[in-house]
Structure 1
Amino acid sequence: MIWLWRALASLCVALGAIGVVVPGLPTTPFLLVAAWAGARGWPALEARLLAHPKYGPLIHDWRSRRAVPRRAKWAASLVMTSSVLALWLVPTPGWLRIGLPLFLLCVACWLWTRPEPTP
């Protein structure tokens, strides 16, 4: 079972690393999952993620208060909005043109109800 946790953590770290260079692909959610999986099967990786100068505090804030920084909320909202706009510029099925914006609106509402980290 430990190898499954390590495989999930490794996959999420890889996707997070790709997200650093690919616009629109989020990094932090993948690192949150990597830290979660690492806590179950790879404590050294979890410790390394928690000690990271940029992403460590975000992971701590999420774990302690489920807090999301305002800047991340704005960035996610802008990416979701641009995704919906791009969806309307290409030929797509009607169910997708309606369903995806509704889903992303629910995600945005949920995201904006998360507390913000204390300074």
Structure 2
Amino acid sequence: MTALRDAWRGSRVRRTIRLGWLLLGLFCVGLGIVGALLPLMPTTIFLILAAGCFARSSPRLEARLLSHPRFGPTLRAWRRDGAMGRRAKGMAYGGMVIGYAVFVLTAHPTAMACIIVAVVFGGCALYIWTRPTAML
């Protein structure tokens, strides 16, 4: 009797976890849509996260996202090779430069804050630079 009860609880927990992944994936798709409409908000990273969430919750939605004509090739390149397109890399670098300039000009940070933000952005730029370049 306890084995049956444990199995029921286990499947209930699995369903709850799958629902959580599904909701998180849908939230990431929503953020990706907003990012496609707003110039300074990223799109692809949220769709990469959504694909990962859907892989754990809904293979149908994952396949739909990966076969999307606009975003599918980028998502498949990231999943297959961890690769980014040349344009995406350039936009990421440009976004960091613009973001840093806006930060310095509007926040009037201390020298230490400028250094910390520059180091963080530099680390992000280094990570992007080390990614393979996808030929999309």
Where does residue 7 of structure 2 map in the other structure? none
Matched with 2:95 is 79
The answer for the alignment partner of 2:120 in structure 1 is 103
Select which of 29, 49, 56 maps to 2:45: 29
Determine the C-alpha separation between the residues in 2 that align with 1:56 and 1:31.
Answer: 9
Aligned residue pairs total 119
Q: Say what the alpha-carbon RMSD is for the aligned residues.
A: 1.3
- Give the deviation of 1:45 after TM superposition: 1.1
Q: Are 1:17 and 2:33 matched, yes or no? A: yes
In the aligned structure 1, how far is the partner of 2:62 from the partner of 2:34? 19
Alignment partner of 2:107: what SS? coil
Pairing partner for 1:49 from 37, 62, 65: 65
Identity %: 38
What's the offset of the Cα at 1:92? 4.5
Deviations 1:53-81 (A, max 9, x none): 11101111011111101110000000010
Q: CA deviation at 1:97?
A: 2.2
TM-score, scaled to structure 2: 0.83
In structure 2, C-alpha distance between the alignment counterparts of 1:82 and 1:64, rounded to whole Å: 30
The residue type equivalent to 1:13 in the other structure is V
Q: Which amino acid aligns with 1:96?
A: A
Unpaired segments ≥5 residues, structure 1 = none
Gapped regions of structure 2 (runs ≥ 5): 1-16
**Equivalent residue letter for 2:62:** E
Q: How many angstroms apart in 1 are the aligned matches of 2:53 and 2:24?
A: 6
Larger mean CA deviation between 80-89 and 97-106 belongs to: 97-106
Match of 1:40 among 20, 31, 56: 56
Residue 14 of structure 2 is aligned to residue 4 of structure 1: no
Structure with the greater alpha carbon radius of gyration: 2
